Amino acid sequence: MISHKQLFLQNTAQTSSFPRLLEIERAEGLYLYDIEGKAYLDLVSGFAVSSIGHRHPKVIEAIKNQLDKYLHLTVYGEFVQAPQVLLAQKLGSVLPPTLSSVYYTNSGAEACEGALKLAKKYTNRSHIIAFKNSYHGSTHGALSVMGNEYYKQAYRPLLPDIEFIKFNAFADLERITTQTACVIIEAIQGEAGVQVPDVLYMQALRTRCNQTGTLLIFDEIQTGFGRTGKLFAFEHYNITPDILLLAKAMGGGMPIGAFIASKTIMDVLKENPILGHITTFGGHPVSCAAALASLNVILDDNLMEGISEKENLFKTLLVHPKIKEIRGKGLMLAIQLDTFFNVENISKQCIENGLIIDWFLHCDTALRIAPPLTITTTEIKKACEIILQATENVN
């Protein structure tokens, strides 16, 4: 009989020549279990998705309840769907008043696409500022604002009028002018290997955007929903973006994203042309029900409490001559090593020893730590032991 692995390689699209090829049978809380029943502690959360752990009972319950009512009804923005409006109401209650209008998408890249269109339409400008080493998704618009030529070169021409400036560099802020529609920035650069900007820099960026009438788009697709110790990372900087991008952890494991702005800004999608942004599945009722349940878990269980202690524990335990630095905020951390060879070697050993760990798109010399926020002290110690042992084994 043909194995699942063979089918995977033959009949599902491949995005690299060296996939991990781990076949998982089920997942629960902090652990994944393979087809032999071997447990893996998840230190990546499916790339910052499973922040409340895998298959949280409250999320499963919300999904089941919605399954008994309806699935897809019609395209986005026509019928009143309770899961969509209740989630938007909840998001409104935890966001500043100017972030009150939610447009749901299926993914992070789609949130980025919608936000770029919204900013161009609202400002009637086309110049966009993005950042070196940024990542906002893989669709054409999102790829156009990605700050890494290696991933873009084969797909040109991309969107015109995009300029890349240096992250966290005050001098470059002058490149934002009255011609600039928007600046799109990650609240903390993720795929660059977790680069945390200065608070004063983010505040200066906000001021410059105010001076030039430029919309500030914050991509919180990785940082959102408690990962950095605050519900949203913009709270660390005491500023409010004009457009907020969410996805990944939003759905508690279900696919959903959003771009969120003021009603005044969002309303430009209604006219000239009508239906300025359309999606069939965006805001799927099952995903919205799961997202509301997930957000309630984060808030009711106070999952952000203790994140900085967990961050400190990782930083205290992961000491080794081969580890150059541990960077990041909350449970969005990078272990800086020296070579990709060592990163890959350590990752493989970790997986063999029951720990899921990975690297970053623009920084393949560092290992990613992004576990579910529910990780315990015992599991942090266990993970660090496995990482240190693997680090000791490499040259």
Give the Cα separation of 346 and 394 in Å (integer).
7
Q: Measured from the CB of residue 185, what is the shortest distance to ligand PLP in angstroms?
A: 10
DSSP annotation of 218 reads: E
Contact 395, 359 (CB under 8 A): no
Q: Measured from the CB of residue 271, what is the shortest distance to ligand PLP in angstroms?
A: 28
Is residue 222 part of the contact set for ligand PLP (CB under 6 A)?
yes
Is residue 254 part of the contact set for ligand PLP (CB under 6 A)?
no
* The binder of ligand PLP chosen from 120, 125, 136, 310 (CB under 6 A): 136
By CB under 6 A, the count of residues binding ligand PLP is 14
Please compute, for residue 223, the number of CA atoms within 13 A of its CA located in the half-sphere on the CB side.
28
What's the full length of the chain, in residues? 395
Give the Cα separation of 76 and 284 in Å (integer).
9
Instruction: Name residue 234's beta-bridge partners.
Output: none
- CA 165, 170, 175, 180 dihedral sign is positive
Of the pair 114, 379, the CB lying nearest ligand PLP is at 114
Is residue 53 part of the contact set for ligand PLP (CB under 6 A)?
no
Of the pair 137, 328, the CB lying nearest ligand PLP is at 137
Q: Measured from the CB of residue 360, what is the shortest distance to ligand PLP in angstroms?
A: 10
Is residue 186 part of the contact set for ligand PLP (CB under 6 A)?
yes
Instruction: Name residue 104's beta-bridge partners.
Output: 258
Give the Cα separation of 223 and 47 in Å (integer).
11
Report how far apart the first and last C-alpha atoms of the chain are (Å, whole number).
Answer: 41
Q: Measured from the CB of residue 389, what is the shortest distance to ligand PLP in angstroms?
A: 29
Residues 332-361, interacting with ligand PLP (CB under 6 A) = none
Is residue 219 part of the contact set for ligand PLP (CB under 6 A)?
yes
Other CB atoms within 10 A of residue 71 CB: 9
Of the pair 222, 240, the CB lying nearest ligand PLP is at 222
315, with CB counted inside 10 A (0-12, 13-18, 19+), is middle
Q: What Å distances lie between residue 2 and 9, 33, 80, CA to CA?
A: 11, 22, 46
Closest residue to ligand PLP in the complex (CB): 108
Of the pair 47, 151, the CB lying nearest ligand PLP is at 47
Of the pair 109, 173, the CB lying nearest ligand PLP is at 109
Whose CA is closest to 356, among 134, 98, 142, 38?
38
* The binder of ligand PLP chosen from 66, 107, 195, 294 (CB under 6 A): 107
Is residue 195 part of the contact set for ligand PLP (CB under 6 A)?
no
Is residue 135 part of the contact set for ligand PLP (CB under 6 A)?
yes
Is residue 113 part of the contact set for ligand PLP (CB under 6 A)?
no
Chain residues that interact with ligand PLP, rule: CB under 6 A: 47, 107-109, 112, 135-137, 186, 190, 219, 221-222, 247
